[in-house]
Amino acid sequence: MAVVGSAVELLDSLSGGDSDKKSSFTRSFHVIVDDINDDSIVVLGAPGLPLIWDTYAADNSSNLYARCRDRKAKPLKENRLIWKVVCQYSTPDQRDGQGQEEDDQIIDVLVELPEVTFGWEAEEIPIQGGGGGGGFNSQNPVFGTDGIVNSAGELFDPPPMMTRYNMTWTIVKNLPEDFDSIGQARAYMNHLNQDEGQFTFWGFPTETVLCRSIVPSFAVKQLANQAQQVFQKVAYEFISRPQWDLVLLDQGSYYLSDAGGDIHKVFFEAGGTNIIGLLDGSGGKQPEPWTPASAVYLDPIEKHSRIAFSQLNLPNKLSECKARFA
């Protein structure tokens, strides 16, 4: 009439798979009862068994969006006091390329799929040539490259421009009512992604994604069990660019000279008029004739601090969230 001890997970318990619609996982347990007339109601009440709507978690992995949706119990043929319980987990079905969780399925908004919205932002950048007069370089148009020149080797001023489109995206995630979203915003806003190992934030290399904003708001939702849940909806906005650091050409109105044993300033002149000239990276004058290939760039200046985005615990691919395009 009762369960003996707790449910014991089998050594070969874990299995799972992915499809174009969802991810699924299985865990298996043995439950021992003390009466051969005990049924599945007694067995499924055993301590240690996952409950319906529990999220999937094994020893070395977990999936916040996969929930236990089915539990089946059956006695072993050779011993009816031992039951095998199979718990099946799955993520919500994805329909029309979007993760979709119907409102009548939701009994906890904190495990509801986050939503991501994509867009693009235009940016005007100077067209540069490759280093040493090589080919056009649209991916890194400022750092370590040469300007476009005319047939006499003179730089175009102002330089010709091109439009580059940078991807933007906003992730909206439900979080507990007492979550410190303001503290998280202070820690992450205006920071670039910097994660170690093989983690890439949405496939972008380290130091190429900026966290623009983290904006919380409070919400209340009527759940499937008729209860009301108060929670935060937190919107995370990101933008990607190939280069964020400031890279400056080493140039100025004067250079340093040690003529006569004393270091002093010498102004660049041409035809009796002060001009801007190129420096050699150490305060000295760049040997003439000046060419784009002789330009020296100062060390990059970090305009934004770096932080590990993996600690945000946000979805990192489309299959983990609802998706729509702006």
How confident is the model over 202-252, as pLDDT tens digits?
Answer: 999 999 999 999 999 998 887 666 678 889 999 999 999 988 887 777 888
pLDDT at 18 over 50: yes
What's at 124, amino acid-wise? Answer: E
pLDDT band at 97 (very low <50, low <70, confident <90, very high): very low
Is 130 found in the same domain as 231?
Answer: yes
Whether the model pTM is above 0.75? no
Is 42 found in the same domain as 174?
Answer: no
Query: Is position 98 within any domain?
Result: no
Query: Is position 228 within any domain?
Result: yes
Is 241 found in the same domain as 265?
Answer: no
Tens of pLDDT, residue by residue over 285-326, are 888 777 666 778 788 788 889 999 988 989 888 878 875 544
Q: Which residues contact 151 (CB under 8 A, 6 or more apart)?
A: none
Is 178 found in the same domain as 120?
Answer: yes
Tens of pLDDT, residue by residue over 125-170, are 877 654 443 333 434 444 334 566 667 666 676 778 889 899 999 9
| Residue 221: burial class (beta carbons within 10 Å; 0-12, 13-18, 19+) | middle
Is 309 found in the same domain as 281?
Answer: no
Is 74 found in the same domain as 23?
Answer: yes
Q: Identify the residue with better confidence: 107 or 290.
A: 290
Tens of pLDDT, residue by residue over 197-208, are 777 899 999 999
Contact yes or no for 142/243 (Cβ under 8 A): yes
Number of domains in the chain: 3
Mean pLDDT of 47-72: 85
Is 258 found in the same domain as 241?
Answer: no
Q: How far apart are CA 252 and CA 229, in angstroms?
A: 62
pLDDT at 135: 38
Is 232 found in the same domain as 141?
Answer: yes
Q: Checking DSSP bridges between strand 191-193 and strand 305-307, what pairing results, if any?
A: parallel
Average pLDDT in the chain: 81
Peptide bond connecting 158 to the previous residue in cis, omega within 30 degrees of 0? yes
Contact yes or no for 135/146 (Cβ under 8 A): no
Tell me which residue range forms the domain holding 18: 3-91
Q: How far apart are CA 215 and CA 59, in angstroms?
A: 34
Q: Checking DSSP bridges between strand 228-240 and strand 161-176, what pairing results, if any?
A: antiparallel
Please state, for a pLDDT cut of 90, what percent of the chain lies above it.
Answer: 36
Is 320 found in the same domain as 176?
Answer: yes
Is 156 found in the same domain as 86?
Answer: no
Number of residues written out for the chain:
326
pLDDT at 275: 79
Query: Is position 140 within any domain?
Result: yes
Which residue has tokens 């119990």? 73
